[in-house]
Amino acid sequence: MSHIVENPADGKYLSNLPLALKALFTGYILVIGLGLLMAGGQILLTHGQADGKPGLSIDDIVYSYYGNRTGSTLENKLNGSMKANATVEERATMIKWARNGADETEWQNTIQPIVNQKCAACHSNMPTLTNIADFKIMQKIAEVDEGVEISSLTRVSHIHLFGIAFIFFFIGYIFSKAQGVHPYWKAALIFTPFAFLMIDIASWWLTKFDPNFAWLVIFGGFGYSLASTVMIVVSLYQMWVMDWIKARKTV
């Protein structure tokens, strides 16, 4: 069986690219790398606080997608990611209101002032957040927590599939110009983030209906992050470090 051999004439390697292209690729990689770090931080500050404890755990994933069905979404948020945004007394008052049926009169007299003071600044002005200053919306949040809604999961899924696929496309394109990597391994590594992205999104839906799939969410996210990191590091090394090391050895 014949082996695939890369021919330098097929295209320029990363180390041989013009300085302008190296600058373009490097700028893109650095910004994307920073973006991936920020995404990880955002996950820790949102999903990672779902169980009220620091760090990402299986319970965090379950509560985010399947829900914590022992209480309302409001209660779980107040004891989790939103815990620091209200006093103990305010949180206790809102939780008691939710458990007692989310009465509208009590909302107007007691709960709404707390929401306006502590929550509305973000939730009423940021389109990505639920407007909990609206009683009808707040009443729904006060019901038993069944995790993310299907409509929200659908919206986030298609945004991630389209947006992150573009990120992996350009990372893969840059890495495709690396040298010294067998074509089979190179092709496998380029495809790996796409495969793990599909696993990641599928695991959201599976966990929504069965909490036993929560571990798959962490597996998918870790997989595409690791593959992307390898391609980023190799690409930066071959563009800026490899030739410098060779030059030092010849001196």
Listed by start position, the domains of the chain span 12-46+148-250, 68-141
8 Å CB contact between 73 and 137 = no
8 Å CB contact between 207 and 216 = yes
Q: Residues with Cβ < 8 Å from 206, sequence gap 6 or more?
A: 213, 216
What pLDDT digit, counting tens, does each position of 237-248 carry?
999 999 788 777
pTM summary value:
0.77
What pLDDT digit, counting tens, does each position of 180-231 carry?
999 999 999 999 999 999 999 999 999 999 999 999 999 999 999 999 999 9
CA 202 – CA 109 distance, rounded (Å): 43
Q: Which residue's structure tokens are 């050895």?
A: 249
What pLDDT digit, counting tens, does each position of 53-84 carry?
778 889 999 999 999 888 888 888 888 878 88
First to last CA, the chain: 41
8 Å CB contact between 74 and 94 = yes
pLDDT band at 9 (very low <50, low <70, confident <90, very high): very low
How does DSSP classify residue 240? I
